[in-house]
Structure 1
């Protein structure tokens, strides 16, 4: 029998009023309410509980404008220190005016999963409710992929995690969870098809763009399935944006595994003994050479070509590449026929995140 199954709504409200600082009681009442029909009083009481649980939490307030993965990095680095303490209470506040781009959405999902793995409790509050970015996140399957132990304000009603427009919007492909046990060979084609067909491009450019996006997703999702070594979910997403008539496609793949550098570094003295310079390279240079020369954890004869293929396809469209792995953030930009490290200022004191987060930004405004 559930702890508070015999309590009326009046009794539950009184219990919450008397135990506002008792987290175990609050969580017990919340669990009980989850078993009941979501009438007005039940939803109101759930929101009261969420606010009480958020009190005293470590607060992360996102900025009130469009944010991508780099803006998210800057925000998190100003709040958190590494390592994050176990059993912390984390309150993520999304103010009115904040719009979350897909590259930030999948990184936020992975970050929340890692917080939960540390036994943290996480609340995400949307100031504008369903009239703001919350509705968009539902559209891209953010709530469908979000762990159900995460508290959301306003409270998610039954069925509100599911989008009604799955694969029906030509500019976005919803967040897909990657299977680490078996690779979905149809996924790259679906992700590419979703944003290319209705792009204002010639048939030949559409074909080239579709090939490029398919290659990126195929190689990156394959790497995740082979090398993640994590039980936490990995994600892929793609969206076409058109800010000020400058269309751009964002392609993002991320996981919560060991991280690409922690996979490569131990393999260098074994497979690349004839290149001792690799072992001395800073992280950013080593990542650059992984895309240019195909440095692999398995050596030249068994792997490494995937990232080179990604770079080759991305270069055809003068794309930029962002690689975030553990404590390192590297930006690569096209320069002539090759990629170089972008030296623009980046967030200092990056918090530790397990895994690898790769985003390609493919500009379409110069294509004819």
Structure 2
């Protein structure tokens, strides 16, 4: 029988967070690959989730599909409010062809084409080989246009920060992911914050860096994964010799500090949570680490950017 996950909040009225989804997947990871290698995720009728969780769900479904796991997303519960939101944002268009989904109308009976609707959402596929240079401008503009009660000078400064962030992260997907699977760039504008997600299914940030420890990054030999992440954020160490960009991570962390964002990095089977990074003089004090998660490839980076710092 297929492993089954109930996609629902832990408490009534709350949303399913990215961290909660990770917990559900971790609990089921042994069953996912046993017997028929199948996973059904039952989306409860009253479930709701932020963009961070939904992009992670797409990423998980696509990677498991590539590994030969039969994945079904079951939205067939009566009056499933999350189904309409997913149709509006283009969720189903981003799923691999092998991933099945159920709606009240039957299997695969929803449109993969994004519906005209909420202008506060944007989800975009990123090719692993072609860098769309127009995408960072489009996403940065969408965020800054929706921020309330700021001056035009502040709006201009934030545009530059968001453009730089998206430019670094989407370029990294093209340059480093080394996979045929599409990456994703997404954002959601909420009343008091924006959530930003960029992810791929490639070789992963640390896997890209570690071969360089035998050459131009020999000074970091013996560092733990956590220590390497902290150095990449603050010092800009890079897998490319002579490049001090740290795969763009250092630049992204700089902008996270400017906006006092929460920053999340998900690699292999570990999740690094950085909370309100501008408020902690020592970066490690803002960090919480979750380990032994469902093994995934690639790099998943997200930011929760408050409009009022």
TM superposition score normalised by structure 1: 0.75
2:259 equivalent in structure 1: 317
SS in structure 2 opposite 1:112? helix
Instruction: Return the alpha-carbon distance in structure 1 between the equivalents of residues 212 and 221 of structure 2.
Output: 10
| CA-to-aligned-CA distance 1:208-248 (integer Å, 9 cap, x gap) | 22222211110001111000011111101011122xxxx11
Instruction: Return the alpha-carbon distance in structure 1 between the equivalents of residues 6 and 193 of structure 2.
Output: 27
Quickly say closer, same or farther: Cα 1:291–1:85, change in 2 above 3 A: farther
Q: Is the 8 A contact 2:183 2:199 kept in 1?
A: yes
Instruction: Return the alpha-carbon distance in structure 1 between the equivalents of residues 109 and 238 of structure 2.
Output: 46
Instruction: Return the alpha-carbon distance in structure 1 between the equivalents of residues 31 and 244 of structure 2.
Output: 35
Deviation at 1:150, TM superposition (A): 1.9
SS in structure 1 opposite 2:283? strand
Q: Which runs of 5+ in 2 are unaligned?
A: none
Quickly say closer, same or farther: Cα 1:342–1:162, change in 2 above 3 A: farther
Quickly say closer, same or farther: Cα 1:92–1:159, change in 2 above 3 A: closer
Report the aligned-residue RMSD: 2.3
2:59 equivalent in structure 1: 110
2:151 equivalent in structure 1: 202
1:359 equivalent in structure 2: 302
Instruction: Return the alpha-carbon distance in structure 1 between the equivalents of residues 147 and 32 of structure 2.
Output: 43
Q: Is the 8 A contact 2:7 2:44 kept in 1?
A: yes
Q: Is the 8 A contact 2:270 2:289 kept in 1?
A: no
1:178 equivalent in structure 2: 126
Instruction: Return the alpha-carbon distance in structure 2 between the equivalents of residues 130 and 202 of structure 1.
Output: 41
Q: Is the 8 A contact 2:3 2:32 kept in 1?
A: no
What is the 5 A alignment of 1:133-212? Answer: 133-154=82-103, 155=106, 160-165=111-116, 169-173=118-122, 175-200=123-148, 201-212=150-161
Quickly say closer, same or farther: Cα 1:135–1:209, change in 2 above 3 A: same
Greater shift in the superposed pair: 95-104 or 345-354: 345-354
Instruction: Return the alpha-carbon distance in structure 2 between the equivalents of residues 305 and 67 of structure 1.
Output: 30
Instruction: Return the alpha-carbon distance in structure 1 between the equivalents of residues 184 and 196 of structure 2.
Output: 11
1:249 aligns with 2:194: yes
SS in structure 1 opposite 2:298? strand
Deviation at 1:300, TM superposition (A): 3.8
Greater shift in the superposed pair: 179-188 or 155-164: 155-164
Deviation at 1:256, TM superposition (A): 0.6
Provide the aligned length of Structure 1 versus Structure 2. 301
Quickly say closer, same or farther: Cα 1:90–1:235, change in 2 above 3 A: same
Instruction: Return the alpha-carbon distance in structure 2 between the equivalents of residues 79 and 347 of structure 1.
Output: 16
TM superposition score normalised by structure 2: 0.89
Instruction: Return the alpha-carbon distance in structure 1 between the equivalents of residues 183 and 38 of structure 2.
Output: 24
Deviation at 1:180, TM superposition (A): 1.6
1:264 aligns with 2:264: no
1:24 equivalent in structure 2: none
1:59 aligns with 2:4: yes
Equivalent residue in structure 2 for 1:293, among 232, 235, 249: 235
| CA-to-aligned-CA distance 1:185-214 (integer Å, 9 cap, x gap) | 000011111222132032222222222221
